[in-house]
Amino acid sequence: MLAVTILGNNSALPAFDRHPTAQVVTMEEQIFLVDCGEGTQMQMAKYKIRRSKINHIFISHLHGDHYFGLIGLLTSMGLLGRTQELHIYHPPALQDIIGLQLRVADIHLPYQLHFHPLAGEGVLIREGKFEVSSFPVYHRIECWGFRFREIRPFRRVNPEKARQNEVPSSFFDRLKWGESYEKRDGTIVENQWVTEPAAKAKSYAYCADTLYDERIAESVRGVDLLYHETTYLKDLEEQAGKRFHSTTTQAATIALKAGVHRLLIGHFSSKYEKLQAFEQEAREIFPNTDLALEGVTYRV
């Protein structure tokens, strides 16, 4: 199961009961927190997110609407007696900020906090059945996107056919990854004789905040679900560009060029009370688009 739950879908200013950016990705029995605007810990309580399942937190950039809630979450986890280690992937300066805030409060967290400064495109975590990687996006300050990917065999063994073809069960794992079997007498059992396509491994990519930039389409090529920011409607493209943000049209164009399956849009400017136009404009270009709504879980 790969899914994303939205905790905050608004841009810089909280408004209309919409909160600054935060979302949680559920994958392989773990919860991954992506950005952590002010009030995220309250949103987690509201939407019953199990904090104990969070082992990894990803911060895209150091504008406050993406991280001002982090220090509160970290200290609350400590007060609640957390002892599990926690990993944070972040623009370098975040470590100084958190360190300073803990120091002046004379707080010693009861758990180990591991800081992983982001430094380039590449794999951040690769554990058993999943992988998370980072890629640059293009904002006024250093900013990162994140890609979540399940790792799973792409073939499923048909045990009856495998037996008929005398493939030992010790070879089944290799069959799942597409290998063919060579018998002792040198004859080959072709993989597709004894396997079927497995359910596809799912992937999700998160892009906020960013200018329209076609390099992003490369970074997120073919993901099942893409979250791309849409701070403004299409008529404000010039303003979006000046502020290093994107419009509905631009986000949908990236989704189209990247060949993704579905697009989720968010980071709405607080100048907009109603959001329908965001959906309409994006769907003109990329029909399989949904609004990122707070409290809603989008299964990939």
Per CB under 8 A, 1 contacts a second copy: no
Buried b / exposed e along 74-103 (16+ C-beta atoms within 10 A)? bbebbeeebeeebbbbbbeebeeebeeebe
Work out which of 2, 24, 63, 203 binds a second copy, going by CB under 8 A.
63
Binding mask 147-176 for a second copy (x = CB under 8 A): ------------------------------
Question: Count of CB atoms within 10 A of residue 21's CB?
Answer: 30
Work out which of 9, 23, 41, 203 binds a second copy, going by CB under 8 A.
41
Helix (H, G, I), strand (E, B) or coil at 27: strand
CB nearer to a second copy: give 28 or 142.
142
Per CB under 8 A, 91 contacts a second copy: yes
Question: Count of CB atoms within 10 A of residue 69's CB?
Answer: 27
Shortest CB 22 distance to a second copy, Å = 13
Judged by CB under 8 A, the number of residues near a second copy is 35
Per CB under 8 A, 269 contacts a second copy: no
Among 232, 276, 286, 224, residue whose Cα is nearest residue 255? 286
Q: Are strands 262-266 and 225-229 parallel, antiparallel or unpaired?
A: parallel
Per CB under 8 A, 113 contacts a second copy: no
CB nearer to a second copy: give 71 or 300.
71
35 is catalytic: no
**221: which 2 tokens?**
């090529």
Tell me the sheet residues that pair with 156: 196
Per CB under 8 A, 48 contacts a second copy: no
Residues 92, 212, 246, CA angle at the centre, nearest 5°? 90
- The active-site residue, picked from 17, 35, 65, 290, is 65
- The H or E element spanning position 73 is helix 70-79
CB nearer to a second copy: give 209 or 224.
209
Which residues make up the interface to a second copy (CB under 8 A)? 12-15, 19-20, 38-39, 41-42, 45, 62-64, 68-69, 71-72, 75-76, 79-80, 91, 93-94, 96-97, 100-101, 104-107, 140-141
